Amino acid sequence: MDVLNPYPTLVLDETKAKTNIQVMAQKVSKSGIAFRPHFKTHQSREIGNWFNRYNIDGITVSSLDMAKYFAEDGWQSITIAFPVNILEAPEINKLSASIDLRILVVDKSTITKLDQAISHSLGVYIELDPDYARSGVSFRDFELIKELISAIEGSQHLALKGFYCHAGHSYRSRSSEQIMEMAIPIIKQLEKLKAHFPYPICYGDTPSCSVLEDFGSIDQLSPGNFVFYDWIQTQIGSCIPDQVAVAMYCPVVAKYTERKELLIHGGAVHFSKDFDTLENGSLYFGQVVEQNQSGWSSPLEGCYLKSISQEHGIVSCTDKFFENTRIGDHVAILPIHSCLTADLMGGYMTLQGNLQPDHFSGQKFK
Amino acid sequence: MDVLNPYPTLVLDETKAKTNIQVMAQKVSKSGIAFRPHFKTHQSREIGNWFNRYNIDGITVSSLDMAKYFAEDGWQSITIAFPVNILEAPEINKLSASIDLRILVVDKSTITKLDQAISHSLGVYIELDPDYARSGVSFRDFELIKELISAIEGSQHLALKGFYCHAGHSYRSRSSEQIMEMAIPIIKQLEKLKAHFPYPICYGDTPSCSVLEDFGSIDQLSPGNFVFYDWIQTQIGSCIPDQVAVAMYCPVVAKYTERKELLIHGGAVHFSKDFDTLENGSLYFGQVVEQNQSGWSSPLEGCYLKSISQEHGIVSCTDKFFENTRIGDHVAILPIHSCLTADLMGGYMTLQGNLQPDHFSGQKFK
């Protein structure tokens, strides 16, 4: 790496991220599906523009503010993949005057209230719950779905865009086979649903989208994390470590010989506190990778981010890695959950040392 | 509450925070100890100024950038309570030209390198590890401590300010008695240490500082979290729920009758993912409190933030709370770890509806 910051830095391997985008875009295109990629992971206008070379139908974001951020950058069709917050109706109405804005609805009373609160046409997806139990209407409850469709069709300003379905329980998988086992019955149920309700279906968790080859009757895909991937995705079975496009570069500030641990500047305000679990049941917060001339390559077995507090990180090491690492070096660590790390870091540095601060939560970036 | 945002908001009960500050300042003063409060939790210039009415010796922060932020606000004596990152030596040197800057050191080679890299006088504390095993020299290793003192005293630019000792393992306590059991032997060992090395000792975790009445030979206290406290501090035994001065106010966007759960706007990008554990072993991410005319009072037993993803939160409810809560209402939730929540939120709103954005990480605030 050409340039190293003296402080914790999110480093992006642009080639890996561009390849991740290309692979997903080609898969989507080959399947004859529309691509509405989620921008909540990268949150970056620069990376957003990398999608322009592919045939995309629009984009997906996770909040109204994020929609505004990307609308300002010229994006014309944006889904806020979150059940509409009725308190935000005035702002939603304002934004929908200038772009093809789409939101999610999950209950009838909100549909009625929303319709009364707005004056511009607004696209809505009915959010379906594929037994994940986070949000949405059960994708088996055809009666309720029918009621919601009627409410939308009877409304003055709402235009039904179809169904939105996020199978977030794919994150509980620990192999690509497990992802398939979870996803295939969902795809089948969505086919049944479509036989009853012939509206477009948008689907989108990164594990399913990475592993599935046959998307059945799905019409649109909206994964987001795949642009960067992260260490948990390697454990879920979505990708291999070499596909992870971001690493945190953290300065080593102390070495503790007896416990073979490094103290780094890099804590919960940088990584977030998402974790994975070691075989012995202990939590860990990131995976150390081997640095090379062009960035980083393989995970270093036995070297991981053992604990984090606000600014401190403790890296557990093998004897060899401990010996080879000096105070003042940087340790490269794949974050457990790149969405939260990227949100906290608010920008990134490329392997060539270029800073890219134009990021939705980018104000902490320096 | 007079004004409610349509989005997740960190609400501060100023009276509670001011009382927390007063109680701690009076305790410190009564003990004849110098007060160097940690500003890493609140990160706010406004709140920083509330300390001016008390006799404080200086302040403590967790990063060089945070030191710069408060130095710009006129603070003249600042400890960066983090083992010095030698890569930041040029910036440290620059800041130490204009204020009484103090950093922590934990090894001899860094002392030598730091001394060579700077040209202005710089205060240093030797960080002691009271068996927490995060950072510092073991507070039993008098030989190594002696070597570090010699290295500092033989340096050209470093002025020994004493010892800094953070007993972070107090966070593993689950009652005030357990905090005492952990802290009292530490206080005794620090007394022994001081008999050998008569330098000032700075000590500072919020649990110990909240519970201890006799600080032995400690000279300076630097707790930080106590300004806000949080839900985990009530579980540790540092405070009672009524002392927690911040709550997240999150809009309800959906209700799920079968599982008696509310979906709120409020996720890992607002709360962070720090957690506590329920009796059944499940994790949870915040405690719901009862709102009243002047803010909030007691925790609502059986109502807690059960899970969070990037923007979504699921609140598990009692039948009564579920019935009484409507879509569009706000749920008030005490965060597990206010330091990380305040860092993510970047500012706060008072109970009177006043916005206070002048916060170190304040750029996400609106």
Q: What is the pLDDT of residues A209-268, one digit of tens each?
A: 999 999 999 999 999 999 999 999 999 999 999 999 999 999 999 999 999 999 999 999
How far is A131 from chain B, CA to nearest CA, in Å? 12
| CB proximity B86 to A under 8 Å | yes
pLDDT at A100 over 90: yes
Which A residues 183-222 touch B at CB under 8 Å?
none
Residues of chain B with CATH 2.40.37.20: 240-364
**Closest by Cα among B332, B306, B303, B333 to B320:** B303
C-beta neighbour count of B290 within 10 angstroms:
12
pLDDT, residue B237, reads: 98
Contact A88/B254, CB-based, under 8 Å? no
Contact A314/B134, CB-based, under 8 Å? yes
pLDDT at A92 over 80: yes
pLDDT, residue A358, reads: 87
Angle between helix A89-96 and A108-117 (nearest 10): 60
Q: What is the mean pLDDT of residues B106-117?
A: 98
Q: What is the pLDDT of residues B275-315, one digit of tens each?
A: 999 999 999 999 999 999 889 989 999 999 999 999 999 99
Gap between the Cα atoms of B1 and B294, Å rounded: 6
CB B198 within 8 A of CB B255: no
pLDDT at A364 over 80: no
pLDDT at B212 over 80: yes
| CB proximity A310 to B under 8 Å | yes
Query: Which residues in chain A are contacts of B141 at CB distance < 8 A?
Result: none
E runs forming strands in chain B: 9-12, 34-35, 59-61, 77-83, 100-105, 122-129, 137-138, 158-165, 201-203, 220-221, 246-256, 261-265, 276-277, 283-284, 286-292, 295-308, 312-316, 330-335, 348-350, 355-356
**Phi and psi for A54 in degrees, rounded to 5?**
-105, 160
Q: Which CATH superfamily is domain A31-229 in?
A: Alanine racemase (3.20.20.10)
pLDDT, residue A3, reads: 65
pLDDT, residue B4, reads: 83
Count interface pairs A-B at CB distance under 8 A: 154
In this structure, the dihedral spanned by the alpha carbons of residues A274, A277, A282 and A286, taken in order and rounded to 10 degrees, is -50
Which A residues 25-44 touch B at CB under 8 Å?
40
Query: Which residues in chain A are contacts of B86 at CB distance < 8 A?
Result: 253, 327-328
Rounded to two decimals, the ipTM of the complex is: 0.97
Residues of chain A with CATH 3.20.20.10: 31-229
- Stronger pLDDT, A1 or A304, i.e. the higher one: A304
**Closest by Cα among B333, B36, B320, B32 to B165:** B36
* Structure tokens given for A3: 């340039």
Q: What is the mean pLDDT of residues B238-265?
A: 98
Query: Which residues in chain A are contacts of B7 at CB distance < 8 A?
Result: 63-65, 85, 87-88
Gap between the Cα atoms of A27 and A19, Å rounded: 12
How far is A30 from chain B, CA to nearest CA, in Å? 30
Compute the mean pLDDT over every residue in chain B, rounded to the nearest whole number: 96
Which residue among B40, B275, B311 places its CB closest to the CB of A62?
Answer: B311
C-beta neighbour count of B187 within 10 angstroms:
21
Gap between the Cα atoms of A348 and A206, Å rounded: 21
pLDDT at B363 over 60: no
Residue position matching structure tokens 């130095």: B71
E runs forming strands in chain A: 9-12, 34-35, 59-61, 77-83, 100-105, 122-129, 137-138, 158-165, 201-203, 220-221, 246-256, 261-265, 276-277, 283-284, 286-292, 295-308, 312-316, 330-335, 348-350, 355-356
Q: What is the pLDDT of residues B252-283, one digit of tens each?
A: 999 999 999 999 999 999 999 999 999 999 99
pLDDT, residue B366, reads: 38
pLDDT, residue A365, reads: 44
Contact B310/A343, CB-based, under 8 Å? yes
**What is the Cα gyration radius of chain B?**
22
Gap between the Cα atoms of A366 and A347, Å rounded: 8
**Phi and psi for B255 in degrees, rounded to 5?**
-125, 140
**Closest by Cα among B304, B263, B260 to B285:** B304
Beta bridge partners of A348: A356
Query: Which residues in chain A are contacts of B84 at CB distance < 8 A?
Result: 253
pLDDT, residue A171, reads: 95
Query: Which residues in chain B are contacts of A312 at CB distance < 8 A?
Result: 82, 134-135
**Residue B248: strand, helix, or coil:** strand
Gap between the Cα atoms of B64 and B96, Å rounded: 11
Parallel, antiparallel, or unpaired for β A348-350 and A9-12? parallel
CA B120 to chain centre: 30
Question: What phi-psi label fits residue A312: left (phi over 0), alpha (psi between -120 and 50 degrees) or beta?
Answer: beta
Q: Where are the alpha helices (DSSP H) in B227-346?
A: 231-236, 268-271, 319-324, 338-345
Q: What is the pLDDT of residues A116-143, one digit of tens each?
A: 999 999 999 999 999 999 999 999 999 9
Q: Which CATH superfamily is domain B240-364 in?
A: D-serine dehydratase-like domain (2.40.37.20)
